[in-house]
Amino acid sequence: MADAPRIGVYVCHCGANISATVDVAAVAADAESLPNVVAARHYTYMCSDAGLALVQADIRELGLNRVVVAACSPHLHEPTFRRALASAGLNPHLLQMANIREQDAWIHTDRESATRKACDLVRAAVHRVALHTPLDIRKAAVRPDVLVIGGGIAGMHAALTVANAGKHVYLVEREFSIGGQMARYDKTFPTLDCSLCIQAPKMTAVRTHENITLWTGSEVEEVYGHVGDYRARIRRRARYVDENLCVGCLQCVDACCYDGDLIPDAFNMGLSGRKPIYLPFAHAVPTVVAVDPGSCLNFTRGGCDRPCTDVCGRDALDFDQTPWVEEIEVGSIVVATGFEPFDARKATEYGYGIYPNVYTSMEVERLINASGPTAGEVILRDGTRPQAIGVIYCVGSRDERYNPWCSRVCCMTALKLSHLLCERTGAEVYNFYIDMRAAGKGQEEFYQRVLNDGVQFVRGKVAEVCDWALDPSEEGKLVIRVEDTMTGYVRRVPVDMVVLTVGMSPRSDSDELRRTLNVGCSGDGFYRERHAKLAPVGTLTDGIFIAGCCQGPKDISDSVSQAGSAAAEAIALSVKGSYDLDPITARVVAESCSGCRVCMPLCPFGAIGYAEPGGKCEINAALCTGCGACVAGCPSGAIRQGMFDDAQVFAELSGLLLGAGSGSSGSASGRVPPAVSLQPSAEATGSALR
């Protein structure tokens, strides 16, 4: 290192986020006494313009050449401070952050020990940053194409937005039609416009858009690479019908010689049956039938007369079709895999699955839908029409026994269904709610409208639904037992039909895709955004964005907004065409490499190659993610990693340990005891870990 380190330390109050628990002045005072520290300051908001100006002024006036910022997680503001360094003429990698917010102030309550911990973290950073070297940011090309996973309303909107910007999109949908959950809904709150009417044009647009490659019946099997250069393997299931030939005339369905019980129609939530050859639903896109090999006689009995093939004028049936894999290369990925309705069977107290006239809200969406199993007539499973209906809110939501979160849409869904059921059946409709949550444009107004519909509202969580008649008026009815918390009475309300407004759960297989994509999830199982407020569609993996209910419960409007935002992020990457590679990648020091190739199988990203002529390994910086597996694994210590040199890591550790046992370095009288330094000598740097 040419010039001696001149370090500035900047301790952030983060409003009161840090300073409420950590004595920031003491931390700054302690830092002042550390080796090479020229200035140590504390300030309310280090990330503000004024805070950054403070750092930049010191760089210029005091000739700082290293900076330590003790503030929040580097995930949040490391880029901010790096930019500040760069604009003050300092290499951005001469910065080290000490996370005294998430890893200190927010998780401790004892001020004295939290302050001590902050001093330790700052000392570690000071020791480390002294050994930082300038690193060059390299640029990598971004592939212009985008992969969108999930063809529900969020996925479709994201795909169309990207495609409209002139970029190519691969839209992958697991089902044989796009449309997602929204395709099931009858009308949408609060405007009561028909769900299909507003969604169908989007579905058609997706199918016909010149920039969209639509693959239904397909799943993402494997993803590798990094931002700008993702490679994905897409597994396409056999539908036994040539998508390019079938026009959805349905003659094959009529002709099918299947004679068994009809198979429960998943789209209609099992309220109707279908044949082994079927169209996913009436307005499916693509309008192409599919064959279910689990029930088709051609598969289950090893052959039939195949009347379907005979009637097909376009020769579209292809029973020899096998699944195949498509490999694509994209610059970014938008994940919009949606949610799963809460399984009402888990809430045994409501008798779903026991009493036939207990329905979930998803089933009722189909039941009242003009294209549903009863053509919109509310006819119950036992063939009767309801005179009284009970709508139960928060089933599987806001409940520590099932899902603790509020699913956000259920209040409005329940109000909408109450309104529609009231309108279509003339039945007495009772709503049983805990708290009415009608935030959002037009939603409180809709609540007011339903309040005036003549619908009854009872505030109380239903304890049980039961067919036990306590009174002759309850004979043959389902009885809802609830405390009407407004009147203070415990009530029994007999009804003919119960609607369970089920909440939103993460998809049961969301963990699988999460691992494939290397994105995180929060405690509830929904995918985790990079930052709850400031990066709501990003993930901690660059170039992978999330939209819609896979990130958390939300309504259609919010899903579409989020999808647009995710698309904008993808477009931004695509348009820019290049991406700054964080120079934390590993490199092989050729002189030390013995060519043993131990590192190669260690690399999860296939970034290491072997050059025959020289007999040395080489790392492709564009594929390297800087995970460090090869660095630790190399028996010759021949692999180095930017920002993670052994010397830097050891300096950080020794800085941290210097304070151990000193007990009260929270005071301003901090000093560096002449402790044993863990720091390896410059020559031994490469092999100190082994």
Partner 1 sequence: MRRDARDKLSEDAGPVPVQSRPAIRRELKLQREADGAWLGKFADLPGCERIASCTQCGACSAACPLSIYMDVTPRRLMALVRSGFRSEALKSRSIWLCTSCYACVAACPQKISVADLMFALKREAIETRVYPKRFAVPVLSDEFMNMVRTRGRSSDFWLAARMTLRSSPAALFGMAAIGWRLWRAGRLRLSMEGIHLLAEFQRASLARKDAA
Partner 2 sequence: MTGSSAPANGTKPKQYSYYPGCAIKGTGIAYEESLLEVYRLLGVAWQELTDWSCCGAQAYMTVDAGQSCMLSARNLRIAYQSGSHDIVAPCSACYLALRKCKDYVERYPRMREVVGDFMPASDLQAIANVRVRHALDMLYVDIGPSAFRARATRPWPGGKVACYYGCQAVRPYSEVDRDGNPMRMDELLEAVGVPVAQWPLKTKCCGSSHTGTLHEVGVRMGYLLLKEAVRRGAEAVITICPLCQFNLDVYQKDMTRSTGESFDIPILFLPQALGWALGADHRALGLHRGISGAETLRRWFAGPREGASDG
Q: Applying CB under 8 A, which residues contact partner 1?
A: 349, 394, 398-401, 434-435, 459-464, 481-485, 488, 490
Contacted by 675, from partner 1, partner 2, none: CB < 5 to 8 Å by type: none
Contact 556, 549 (CB under 8 A): no
We find the least distance from the C-beta atom of residue 244 to partner 2, in angstroms, to be 51
Binding mask 402-441 for partner 2 (x = CB under 8 A): ----------------------------------------
CB of residue 484 vs partner 1: minimum separation in angstroms? 8
Residue that has been written with the tokens 């895999």 in this structure: 337
Closest contact distance (angstroms) between CB of 399 and partner 1 is 4
For residues 674 and 388, give the distance between their C-alpha atoms in angstroms, rounded to a whole number.
Answer: 82
Residue 401 touches which member of partner 1, partner 2, none, C-beta under 5-8 Å by kind? partner 1
CB of 348 to partner 2, least distance (A): 3
CB of 435 to partner 1, least distance (A): 7
Nearest to residue 382, comparing CAs of 364, 362, 355, 360? 355
- Look-up: residue for tokens 């419960």? 553
471 binds partner 2 (CB under 8 A): no
The whole-angstrom separation of Cα 211 and Cα 207 is: 10
- Which one, 484 or 618, has the nearer CB to partner 1? 484
Q: Of 97 and 479, which has the nearer Cβ to partner 2?
A: 479
Nearest distance in Å: CB 487, partner 1? 11
Q: Does 468 bind partner 2 (CB under 8 A)?
A: yes
What phi, psi does 10 have (nearest 5°)? Answer: -125, 115
- Alpha-helical (H) ranges within 368-489 are 410-425, 443-451
The encoded tokens of residue 359 equal 């329905």
**Should residue 474 be labelled a site residue for partner 2 when binding is judged by CB under 8 A?**
no
Q: Does residue number 466 form part of the binding site for partner 2 (CB under 8 A)?
A: yes
For residue 470, the partner it binds in partner 2, partner 1, none, with Cβ less than 5 to 8 A by kind, is partner 2
User: 426 CB contacts (<8 Å, ≥6 apart)?
Assistant: none
Q: Please say which residue, 472 or 661, places its beta carbon nearer to partner 2.
A: 472
Q: Which is nearer to partner 1, 462 or 519 (CB)?
A: 462
Given CA atoms 74, 79, 84, 89 in this order, what sign does their dihedral have? Answer: positive
- Output the smallest distance, CB 404 to partner 1, in A: 9
Q: In terms of CB distance, is 262 or 354 closer to partner 2? A: 354
Binding-site member from 107, 137, 325, 470 for partner 2 (CB under 8 A): 470
Q: Which is nearer to partner 2, 377 or 475 (CB)?
A: 475
Q: Which one, 252 or 479, has the nearer CB to partner 2?
A: 479
Classified as helix, coil or strand, 569 is helix
Q: Give the CA dihedral 637, 640, 644, 647, nearest 10 degrees.
A: 50
Strands 95-99 and 66-71: parallel
191: contact with partner 2 by CB under 8 A: no
Query: Which of 2, 95, 113, 112 has the alpha carbon at shortest distance from 46?
Result: 95
For the record, the structure tokens of 392 come out as 């139960």
Shortest distance, CB of residue 351 to partner 2, whole angstroms?
8
To the nearest whole angstrom, how small is the minimum distance from the Cβ of residue 458 to partner 1?
10
The mark string for 338-377 relative to partner 2 (x by CB under 8 A, - otherwise) is ----------xx----x-----------------------
490 binds partner 2 (CB under 8 A): no
Residues 100-103: contacts with CB within 8 Å, 24+ apart? 100/11, 100/12, 100/18, 100/22, 100/27, 100/70, 100/71, 101/12, 101/14, 101/17, 101/18, 101/71, 101/72, 101/73, 102/72, 102/73, 103/73
User: Between 467 and 618, whose beta carbon lies closer to partner 2?
Assistant: 467
Q: How far apart are the first and last CA of the chain?
A: 25
Q: CB-wise, 84 or 394, nearer to partner 1?
A: 394
Question: Structure tokens of 672?
Answer: 């560096």
Binding interface with partner 2 (CB under 8 A): 348-349, 354, 466-468, 470
